[in-house]
Amino acid sequence: MELRQLRYFVTVARTRHFGRAAEQLHIAGSPLSQAIRQLESHLGTPLFERTTRRVDLTPAGEALLPEAVRILESVGAAREQVSRVAAGDLGRLRIGSTALATYRHVPELVRRLGDELPGLALRFRTEMLTPALEAALTDHRIDLAVLRPPVGDDDAIATRVLARERLVLAVPPAWDGPGGGSADTVALGDLADEEFVVYSAPGSVVGAAADRACRGAGFVPRRTHEADQTSIVLALVAAGLGVALLPESVLAVTVDGVRYRELADCDVTADVALAWRREDPSPVLEKALAVLGRTERTP
């Protein structure tokens, strides 16, 4: 049984006329009649009662018609779905991100993808540092990462900068720093005697930027307390155990007791970038990158 035969059968059944069916199918009458006879021979029963004036369905034809329609519709739906997947309009995209990007950048990216690619199913892994995200890309555990460059020397990973963020200072509720702790802006050079809460994980881009900023201000930060996640860093700050230098994405995070201060003398930044496998053939990834590229922010 061929799909072509089922399509011919449904057209004849609906028109109840071989000539009109042939016109709709854009074929001659003889190939149509031959295809119907082949279908009847395959099924072992007549499907039509033919007279000189009209064509009617036999009971077997009546039984076949809804099933033939269902099969053709199912095949059509499958063909449409495959075409959408091939075009990148339908499929799954696995995204990994750093903790702070989850709060500030990921929501915007998700909104853009949702607006232009509603058939895209997103899967997320968050609270990952850049080295872990790079490894997840290399191991094909994620398709796209929102991370903080630089990545390693692997040319197989491509990046595109989304934003360049300045550093801000997170302080405890009763912090009595420069200016009595009430000033909205503080000088990083005045924080040499502060205890700092820092990232414990090796390879932390934010940790390296914070250390670089302090050294540029003339001192080595006192790394009194360490944590491997931003949420714990902020919890330690809220508990009054120290201050922390974090990218401005943290301003989107509200933690009871934590206040944020601008830095007057710090030009160190922490970029946020998209990263993906350069040779990834996925049409979904290609379409997603095109969408995000059309609307990306200016660093």
pLDDT, tens digit (0-9, with 9 covering 90-100), for 256-282: 999 999 998 899 999 999 999 999 989
The terminus-to-terminus CA distance of the chain in angstroms comes to 60
Question: 96: burial class by Cβ within 10 Å (0-12, 13-18, 19+)?
Answer: buried
Query: Given 1.10.10.10, 1.25.40.10, 1.10.10.60, 3.50.50.60, which CATH number is that of 3-87?
Result: 1.10.10.10
CA nearest neighbour of 10 among 61, 80, 85, 75:
61
Higher-pLDDT residue of 181, 237: 237
Q: Grade residue 181 by pLDDT with cuts at 50, 70 and 90.
A: low
In the predicted structure, residue 183 carries a pLDDT above the cut 80: no
Query: Quick one: average pLDDT of 196-213?
Result: 88
Is the model's pLDDT at 182 over the cut of 50?
yes
Q: What is the pLDDT of residues 128-175, one digit of tens each?
A: 888 889 999 999 999 999 999 988 777 899 999 999 999 999 999 888
pLDDT at 83 over 50: yes
Pick the more confident residue, 201 or 9. Answer: 9
Domain residues of the chain, as ranges?
A: 3-87, 91-156+274-294, 163-270
Q: 215 pLDDT exceeds 80?
A: yes
Tell me the C-alpha distance between 6 and 72, whole Å: 8
| Average pLDDT of the segment spanning 53-58 | 87
Q: Would you say the CATH fold of 163-270 matches that of 3-87?
A: no
- The pLDDT value given to residue 84: 74
Q: Tell me which of 9-18, 85-94, 204-213, 240-249 is least confident.
A: 85-94
- Say yes or no to pLDDT of 27 above 50: yes
Pick the CATH number of 91-156+274-294 from 2.40.50.100, 3.40.190.10, 1.10.230.10, 2.40.50.140: 3.40.190.10
Contact 76, 106 (CB under 8 A): no
pLDDT value, residue 174: 84
Q: In this predicted structure, what is the pLDDT of residue 41?
A: 92
Say which CATH superfamily domain 163-270 falls into: Periplasmic binding protein-like II (3.40.190.10)
Of residues 67 and 103, more confidently modeled:
67
Task: Tell me what pLDDT residue 296 has.
Answer: 46
Mean pLDDT, the chain, integer: 88
Binning pLDDT at 50, 70 and 90, where does residue 97 land?
very high
What is the share, in percent, of the chain residues with pLDDT greater than 90?
61
Q: Above 90 in pLDDT, residue 289?
A: yes
Q: How confident is the model at residue 295 (pLDDT cuts 50, 70, 90)?
A: very low
Which pLDDT belongs to residue 180? 56
Alpha helices in the chain (DSSP H): 3-15, 18-25, 29-43, 59-87, 99-104, 106-116, 130-138, 205-216, 230-238, 283-294
Look at residue 294 and tell me whether its pLDDT is greater than 70: no
DSSP secondary structure string for all residues of 7-30: HHHHHHHHHT-HHHHHHHHTS-HH
What is the percent of the chain where pLDDT is above 70? 96
Q: What is the pLDDT of residue 45?
A: 93
Enter the pTM of the model: 0.71
Question: Hey, which residues does 169 pair with through a beta bridge?
Answer: 245, 261
Question: What local confidence, expressed as pLDDT, does residue 80 receive?
Answer: 81
